Structure 1
Amino acid sequence: MKPLSVECIRTIFSGDLIQGSDDVIVHFGAYRHKQIKNQNTILFLRRKVVNLKKLEVYFPLVLVTDQTISRSEQFKNLTIIMVKDVEEAYWKFVKYYRSLFHIPVVAITGTAGKTTTKDMISHILSAKKTITATNSTNNSRTAHLQYLLSIDDDTEAAVFETAVGAPGDVLKAGEYFKPTIGIITNIGAHHLNYCKTLEGYIQAKAEMAKILDQSSVLIINSEDDNTKKIDLSNYLGRIIKVGIDPSCHFKAAGIKYCKDGMEFNVQHEEKNYSVFVPGYGEQQVYNALAALAAVHEIGIDLLEAADRLKTYKNLNKHLQVREGLNGATILDDTWSLTTTSLKAALKVLSEVGESKKKVAILGTITDLGSWGYVIHEQAGEIISESDVDVLITIGFHARIMADYLLKIGTTSTVYSFNNSTLVYDLLKEIVDENTIVLIKGDMYSKPMIELASKLRKKI
C-alpha cells in the first residue's frame, strides 16, 4: 500500500479525529477483524463491538467508525476517526486510493481459464514491469481490498481475477479495481445455485462490459456460444476478438499438440507469430491468445511476449501429465470441474491418448443448486460424444453422468462408486502402460485429490 497519513485519510471522507494523531502513517487496510495482520492498519469498523485488548498486538491501529467508542487512555497507540456513515467512508477511501494510480489494470472473468490467463499475463509482464496480481485462485470478494492496496507507487500494471459466485460480483470488483482491460475467457454453466439460470449466469459474467469505460478494451473469445449472447450494444470501448475465425483480431492457426504443450501461429495485423504455450489442449491456445492480446495492449511487443510465454509454468493439477499406476499415463485435472472444462479435458484425453485405452474418473460438479440433475445429464451427453473406453464416476450426483450413458446406450464400460475407496483396487486390475487415465474433480474434493496423488505413485 502507498503509505498515507491519518490526516490525509480523514480529509477523504471528512472524518473527525476523536483520539490519536494525524501524523500516524497507515500501511495496510481492513474491513474485518480477521483481515488485520500488521501494525499501522486502518480498520473500517462496521460493528459496534470490538475487543481492543485482542487487537493491541497490532497497534498502532486506526479505527474508522460511526459508532460511539469511548476515548481510552490505556490504548496510547490507538487512533479513532469518527464518521457519519462508515460504509460511505469506506467507499470514498477505496475510490480515492484507486484514483492515485494511472496504470493498466486487467480484470479477468470466465467459467474456465481465468487463473491460467491471469498467470500467463503476469508471467509475460513481469519480465519488464513491476506488477501485482491475484494470488493463485484467491479471487473472493473479501480479498478485493487487499489486492487494491497491493498497488503502490512502484506498480506498473495489475492483473486481477473477478470471479462470479452470484450476480453483482463483477460489478463489485469493478468498484474496487476500475479495470482498463477486461477479459471474458468463456461462459459455461456454473454457480447456478445463486445465478438461478444459465441466462442469469451469462448476465453475471456480462457485468464485465459494465465496469469498463469508453477508453477501455474488452477481450472476448469469438467462438464461445454463450459469450455471443451478451448484448454489447451499450459498450463504448473497443472490442478485441480472439479465436480461429478470420474475423478475429488475434487469430490462431496451425494448432497442434507437441511435447509438453501446444504450438500454433498467431495472426495479428497481417503479421504471423510462432507461439508455443506449455500445457495441453485447445483451451490453452485460447488462454494464450487472450493473454497475448492483453499484454500487447499494454505495450509489450508480440515477439517478446511469445518468447516469454515459452517459459510459462502450467498450473498444478491443470491437466498435468504424469507416469503412474502400472505404467499408465495419468492426466491430473483435479483443479476444477464444470461442463466447459470437462469438454476440454476429454478432448485432451482423446488427443494425448490417441492409441491408448482411455479411462475417465469424474467427480461431482458443484455449485449447481436445483440444476444439479440437469447439468450432470448434460455432462453425460458430453461424455457420450467422446471416445472414452471406461467411465468411472465417484459420488451420488456424479452417478447421473453414468446413468445417462447407460440409458442412451454406450460402448464404454461404466462404473459408479459412492466414494473413492474401491476405485483404486479396480484401476489396479484394468490399467497398464497402454492406458491413459483422466481424473477430474475440483480443488475442494479431498478424496479426488488423494486418489490422483495415489495414482501418480509408481507401483
Structure 2
Amino acid sequence: MMAKEEAVLTKSVTLNQCVQIIGGTLIRGDGSRIIRGANLGKPRRLAKSQIYFYSKSRSWDKQLAGLQSTPPAAVVLHEGLSLSSIPKSIAIVRVPNVNQAIWRLASWNWRQIRPRVAAVTGSAGKSTTTSMVTSILKRSRRVIHTQGNLNTFTYLPSYLLRLSPGDEILVLEMGMKSFNNIARQCRVVRPEVGVVTNVGEAHAGHLGGVHRVVKAKQELIDGLRPGATLYLNADCLRSRQLSTRRFRGSVFTFGIRNTADIQGANIQYRTNGMSFDVMTEGKRGRFFIPTWGDHNILNALAAIGIARALGISFHQIREGLAKVKLPRMRLQKIRGIHGRTLINDAWNANPSAMKAGLSVLRHLSSKRPGIAVLGDMMELGGYTRAGHRDVGRFAARMNPHQLITYGQKAQDIGRTAIAAGMNPQRVHHFSSRGALIRHLHSTPAGSVIYFKASRKQKFEKIVNSLTRG
C-alpha cells in the first residue's frame, strides 16, 4: 500500500482518463491500465501503479535509474527527452509543460474532496503553530498538513494530490520569499480560517524592507474566503499594520501582554515545557506545551483559535498541545557530554526569534551557567547591522554566563553587548568552527548552551560535536 506521501489519488482512474485530465498525449502503452497514485519527480518512491512526472530539478540519468529499478505504470515527459532507455513496460505520456500537467491533476484531485482549509503564516512560529494545530486536529479528524518547510506555492500540488476520501481538513503553512506567493496559494484553496503568527524581520532582505513583509503577510488576509475567521497577534506591533478593512469575516486576537480574545497568563516554566492559563469564550483553563518561551505560548494560543474555529473541544485541544511533536531544531533539547544541556534552536534566525531564545536561556539556566552561541542572521537586507546590534543590546540585558558569536555579521552582537555594559571577558567571537568547538568543550560542566543562527551556518554540526567526547 502506498503511503500518503506518495500522492494516492482520490479515486483510481484509467491511464486514458489521466491523460485527458492532464492534457497530454499517450504515445506508448495501454490506456486502460489503472492509475492509483502520482509521483512528483521522486524516483526513490516509485510504485507500479503510479504515474511518474519528470522533474527538471533532478538529473535524467538518476530518474531513469529509478524507472528501470521500479517501473511505474506511466511516465509524463516533455519534448526533447530520450525515450530509448525507458523500460517497455512503462507507458509514455507527452505534455507541453510537465508542471502545468501536475497542476491539472492536483486541481482535479482537489475538486473531488474540497476539505476545510486552515492557513498559517507569519515571520516566525509558522512550523511550530502548524505542528500544534495538526496535533490537536488529528485526534478527532483526518488531516493533511504541510511537511517540513515545504510551504511555498511550488509545493502546493503535492498536498492537493495527497487528499483522499475521508480527509476533512487541510492545514497549510504558507511561507514566501517573494510577493504573490501566499496570494497564489490562497486563490487555489481559499482558506476558511487563518492566522498571522507575527510580522517580523524574516525575509526583509528579499522583499526590500520590513514594511514590505507586512504587505506580503497581508496576502493571507486578502486571500481568505468571505465569512472566514482570522486570528492576529495582539502583542505584535507590526501586526497592527495589517489591514482588515476589506476582510469580510470574523477577526479575533491572541496575546499575553495585551488584552486579547484568547488571553494567555500565569506562565510557569518546567524542565519539560511550560504550563499556562488561557482565558477565552468566558472560560479559563490550564494548558501545557512541551517547549519553552512566551513566543511559543503565543503559537499555542493561535493554534487554540484555529482549533476552536474548526469545532474542536477544549479537552481535545489540551491533549493535542501537551503531546505535540515539534519540528527539529526549534528549541530542541539535547543531552550533551559532561552534564551539559544543549538547546538547538538553529533552524533559522531573525532578531525577534533570537531575543526570544535568549529569554528562554535565562529561564532554563537558572543557577546553572547559561551560554548563548549566536551566529549570523541572513536575509535581513538593509536591516542587517541594526538587527544584530538590537540582539546585542538585548543580550547585555539577559547577561548570560557567556555570549559567544560566530560569523562576520554576528560579531556586531558581541561588540554591541559590550558597549551596552556586558563584561567583555564573558564575550567571545570565533571565525573558525574548529576553534569555537574547542572553546565549547572547555565550558563548565552542567552548562545550558543555547544555539541560534541562520540555516546556512549549519549549527547542528557544532551541537553534534558536544554530544560526544
Which whole-Å CA distance do the structure 2 matches of 1:33 and 1:456 have between them? 33
Which whole-Å CA distance do the structure 1 matches of 2:203 and 2:411 have between them? 20
| Pair 1:416-2:426 in alignment | no
Deviation, structure 1 residue 445: 2.8
Which whole-Å CA distance do the structure 2 matches of 1:175 and 1:155 have between them? 21
What's the CA shift string for 1:181-226, capped at 9, x where partnerless? 2221112112233212111222122211122111322222221112
SS of structure 1 residue aligned to 2:393: helix
Give runs of aligned pairs for residues 97-136 of structure 1, distance below 5 A: 97-136=109-148
Moved more, 137-146 or 68-77: 68-77
Which whole-Å CA distance do the structure 2 matches of 1:245 and 1:239 have between them? 19
Deviation, structure 1 residue 326: 4.2
What's the CA shift string for 1:140-196, capped at 9, x where partnerless? 444322122111113122222211222222123334443322221112112233212
Moved more, 255-264 or 14-23: 14-23
User: Are 1:263 and 1:275, in contact at CA under 8 Å, matched by a contact in 2?
Assistant: yes
Moved more, 95-104 or 318-327: 318-327
Give the alignment partner of residue 388 of structure 2, picking from 376, 381, 386. 376
User: Are 2:109 and 2:163, in contact at CA under 8 Å, matched by a contact in 1?
Assistant: no
Which whole-Å CA distance do the structure 2 matches of 1:429 and 1:68 have between them? 59
SS of structure 1 residue aligned to 2:390: helix
SS of structure 1 residue aligned to 2:398: coil
Deviation, structure 1 residue 355: 3.1
Change (3 A) 1:63 1:381: same
Change (3 A) 1:438 1:59: closer
Give the alignment partner of residue 451 of structure 1, picking from 462, 465, 468. 462
Give runs of aligned pairs for residues 379-394 of structure 1, distance below 5 A: 379-394=391-406
Give the alignment partner of residue 300 of structure 2, picking from 285, 288, 295. 288
Moved more, 407-416 or 182-191: 407-416
Which whole-Å CA distance do the structure 1 matches of 2:92 and 2:187 have between them? 27
Amino acid at match of 2:404: I
What's the CA shift string for 1:318-347, capped at 9, x where partnerless? 223445354344333222222121111111
Amino acid at match of 1:451: I
Change (3 A) 1:436 1:32: closer
User: Are 1:220 and 1:240, in contact at CA under 8 Å, matched by a contact in 2?
Assistant: yes
Give the alignment partner of residue 93 of structure 2, picking from 68, 71, 80. 80
2:5 equivalent in structure 1: none
User: Are 1:19 and 1:71, in contact at CA under 8 Å, matched by a contact in 2?
Assistant: no
Change (3 A) 1:68 1:358: closer
Amino acid at match of 1:23: S
Which whole-Å CA distance do the structure 2 matches of 1:15 and 1:352 have between them? 58
User: Are 1:334 and 1:440, in contact at CA under 8 Å, matched by a contact in 2?
Assistant: yes
| Pair 1:230-2:239 in alignment | no
Give runs of aligned pairs for residues 30-429 of structure 1, distance below 5 A: 37-39=46-48, 40-41=50-51, 43=53, 55=67, 58-63=71-76, 75=88, 77-80=90-93, 91-244=103-256, 247-369=259-381, 371-411=383-423, 413-429=426-442
SS of structure 1 residue aligned to 2:466: helix
Deviation, structure 1 residue 133: 1.6
User: Are 1:443 and 1:449, in contact at CA under 8 Å, matched by a contact in 2?
Assistant: no
User: Are 2:221 and 2:230, in contact at CA under 8 Å, matched by a contact in 1?
Assistant: yes
Moved more, 200-209 or 135-144: 135-144
User: Are 1:148 and 1:177, in contact at CA under 8 Å, matched by a contact in 2?
Assistant: no
SS of structure 1 residue aligned to 2:191: coil
Moved more, 303-312 or 194-203: 303-312
2:32 equivalent in structure 1: 23
TM-score (norm 1): 0.86
Q: Identity of counterpart residues, as a percentage? A: 22
Which sections of structure 2, spanning at least 5 residues, go unmatched? 1-8
SS of structure 2 residue aligned to 1:385: helix
Deviation, structure 1 residue 14: 6.3
User: Are 1:361 and 1:437, in contact at CA under 8 Å, matched by a contact in 2?
Assistant: yes
Which whole-Å CA distance do the structure 1 matches of 2:24 and 2:347 have between them? 45
The CA RMSD over aligned residues, in Å, is: 3.3
SS of structure 1 residue aligned to 2:129: helix
Moved more, 263-272 or 366-375: 366-375
Amino acid at match of 1:450: K
SS of structure 2 residue aligned to 1:272: strand
Amino acid at match of 1:215: G
User: Are 1:358 and 1:387, in contact at CA under 8 Å, matched by a contact in 2?
Assistant: no
Moved more, 107-116 or 237-246: 237-246
Paired residues, number: 453
Which whole-Å CA distance do the structure 1 matches of 2:54 and 2:335 have between them? 51
